[in-house]
Amino acid sequence: MAMQLSAEIEQRLEALARETGRSVAALTREVLFQRIEAIEDFYRNNGSALHARHAAPYGAEPGVDFGL
C-alpha cells in the first residue's frame, strides 16, 4: 500500500520515530490499527451499515481528510 502524507504528518512521524526508537512504518501501522478500531466501533454503535456509511465519525464532515 502506498500513501501520500502531508509534510507536517511526515515530519511528526519522523520526529516520533527518532524519539521512540521505532520505525516510521511501525508507528504508521499502530496508528492505522487504532484508528480502524475506533472507526469500526463508531459504525457499530451508530446503527445499520447504511446509516453508518452516511454518518461522520467524531463529528467530522463527510469526505474530510483525516490527515492520513
* CA atoms 32, 67, 20, 22: torsion sign: positive
- Does residue 42 sit within a domain? yes
Tell me: pLDDT of 24 over 90.
yes
Per-residue confidence (pLDDT) for residue 29, from 0 to 100: 94
The verdict on residue 24 lying in a domain is yes
Alpha helix positions (H), the chain:
7-20, 24-44, 49-54
pLDDT tier, 44 (very low <50, low <70, confident <90, very high otherwise): confident
Q: Is residue 32 part of a domain?
A: yes
Q: What angle do CA 18, 20, 26 make, to 5 degrees?
A: 90
**Rg of the Cα atoms in the chain:** 15
Please give the residue range of the domain that contains residue 33.
8-57
pLDDT given for residue 3 in this prediction: 85
Number of domains in the chain: 1
Q: Is residue 65 part of a domain?
A: no
Task: Flag whether 67 is in a domain.
Answer: no
Query: How far from each other are the two terminal CA atoms of the chain, in whole angstroms?
Result: 13
